[in-house]
Structure 1
């Protein structure tokens, strides 16, 4: 009898282990499903709705629209669904790569504009003293984008936004300056043109044919696993640029009209807005030649190349008029 009881107990133990295994498998599957849904939600890109909305009828002072747009861009990076994902160390953020690349593209534009504000737009001439708040904000925005502790990227970016808040408040009081001059704008436009040219080249390298480089040698093509990374970096760059160019149109309106450059700027905005159209494919396709599959990278490169060509013309107009 004792031997029989032991056999039954062993059988019960085996049954219990099998049940526990099924439960564990079910929990894992539910967890993965939740991560999949949450990851899809977190991967949704912000739209092109205006980021700066006036709370009253008070007219904005010169430069306020640009500074507020810069502040709002960084705020959107930190507060969008899922928050800032580039430094996540746990699922599902750890498994996502499209949104971190999108964030990096937008972040580069935040850094470039904050540098332009500090270096040119907030100074009357090259020998002028730089603005104290902008001098602190720019290096904070330049913090490594994937730091997750001591201090994290988010905390440094938030401190940069606080410095930008103080600059905006001083602009409103007349204690800070913004010089909407053609040379200041031309300098930033040149930086943007360089960024767009580089992105366009990297996107074009995904076509599968190596480009020629100096000396007639063949360059390298974009690795297959990096095609979507560059594509989404370009999407993030274009998204941020559309908002910044709208702000430039507002704050530099008189200069643009005087230089006959307003239409050129508006055309650049239209070209970059086209990069934000919905991607209906579940993945970034890399069709070659005139085949049946699209090459999304080349379509993106086309829009950026057109915008870059217009940027070069815009800079020429600003410098020569």
Structure 2
């Protein structure tokens, strides 16, 4: 029986050889091996190429969306020690011409840091795409702090642009608002997420001016306004009641940011009715609250901008501050603002205030901001006497 089976197999093999099937099978196997080798060679060269592309992409993310250039606390001196007339804005200098505004110059410099020395991250396509278009960077711990910092600084610029138009750059009720200041206000109010093309955001026009370009144009508006001041062709109203109003608006802005920090950091609160601690609006997740860093860096950017603005306000209103003997209070306010802006933990933690291992960085920021705000209230009280 076995011999019969072996003869049948041998006969079948002879038929296959006579028909040429063996040659076809061998050539197919050879072709498969050749294709397999070709694929292996392609993959051999593709793997490092793909790895290189990934490394370059991540390096671009780190460079464009993480590193903040020019955020040191010495930047106000660049503006205040520049070659500018040593007289109050709008006041005629002994050698001719008039003084210009340190506040306007500071606005231009802060915008230069935000959009010229750095990529404008909130509108950057890489930032808006997030993790491969699936998850945005905001809910996570990476690549969102720079955008939050810039948005916080922009809040201060927008606030000061409004006050420049409404109370500083005009004599209220007797003069029109300055055209350059109005243009600057309009430019900085442009949506911070706007890019040239916005196909995935229905709130923005499909084709638009990029936010960075809009803010960049405001720098020229502030320079043009200061040029008019130096030619004595524009107004800057540095009266004590205007300083009172300006500090009132800034204090309200800081108070609103402080409330956001407090709401996020408060994991437990005392309930008066139940006479017990109950869960509050925030949390105590410590290093695992990945939204806390967004809020912290927004407050950091806000105070970084006001660190420069308040020194510029002191320069523009030097006569009012000297006559009201506000020097010491103003020093304390500047110190508390700078201390707020100097907080830059490696990892932002939102733990309990009495925690040993997970500090509450949001409360630390809020405490310094409240001290600065208290000084502003104190200055307002002195000016209101």
Same fold (TM over 0.5): yes
Say which structure is richer in helix.
Answer: 1
Distance 1:270-1:210 versus aligned 2 partners, 3 A rule = same
Per the alignment, residue 54 of structure 2 pairs with 32
Question: How many residues in Structure 1 have an aligned counterpart in Structure 2?
Answer: 318
Gapped regions of structure 2 (runs ≥ 5): 1-22, 90-99, 131-136, 138-142, 197-207
Query: Alpha-carbon deviation of 1:30?
Result: 2.8
Specify the alignment match of 1:182 in structure 2.
240
| Cα distance in 1 for residues equivalent to 2:109 and 2:231 | 20
Question: Which ranges of 4 or more aligned residues in structure 1 deviate by more than 6 Å?
Answer: 212-218
Q: Residue 88 of structure 1 aligns with which residue?
A: 124
CA contact (8 A) 1:133 1:163 kept: yes
Give the CA deviation at 1:214: 12
After TM superposition, give the deviation of residue 56 of structure 1 in Å. Answer: 3.9
1:122–1:178: 8 Å Cα contact kept in structure 2? yes
Residue 295 of structure 1: aligned partner: 360
Please, what is the CA RMSD of the aligned residues? 2.8
1:63-74 aligned within 5 A: 63-74=100-111
Query: 1-side partners of 2:224 and 2:254: how far apart?
Result: 31
SS of 1:90's equivalent?
Answer: helix
1:4 alignment partner in structure 2: 26
Using structure 1 for the length normalisation, give the TM-score: 0.88
1:269/1:93 Cα in 2 relative to 1: closer, same or farther (>3 Å)? farther
CA deviation profile, 1:80-117 (whole Å, cap 9, x unmatched) = 23x21110112699552111111111001111111111
In the alignment, which residue of structure 1 is the partner of 2:176? 129
Work out the CA distance in 2 between the residues paired with 1:97 and 1:192: 26
1:106-255 correspondence runs (5 A): 106-149=153-196, 150-210=208-268, 220-221=281-282, 224-255=289-320
What CA distance in whole angstroms lies between the structure 2 residues aligned with 1:213 and 1:59? 56
Write the distance in 2 (CA, Å) between the matches of 1:93 and 1:103. 18
Name the residue aligned to 1:52: 79
Q: 1:56 to 1:207 in 2, by over 3 A?
A: closer
One of 78, 102, 107 as aligned partner of 2:149: 102
| Structure 1 residue 172 displacement after superposition | 0.6
1:35–1:91 Cα contact (<8 Å) kept: no
TM-aligned CA distance change 1:121 to 1:205, over 3 Å: same
Return the offset for 1:6: 2.5
Matches within 5 A, 1:271-290: 271-277=336-342, 279-281=344-346, 283-290=347-354
Q: Is the 8 A contact 2:80 2:102 kept in 1?
A: no
CA distance in 2 between partners of 1:298 and 1:238 (Å): 15
- Deviations 1:44-74 (Å, cap 9, x if unpaired)? 3311223416554753651521111111111
Distance 1:212 1:183, change over 3 A: farther
Alpha-carbon deviations, 1:106-141, whole Å to 9, x = none? 001111111111100112223432112112221111
Structure 1 regions of 5+ residues with no counterpart? none
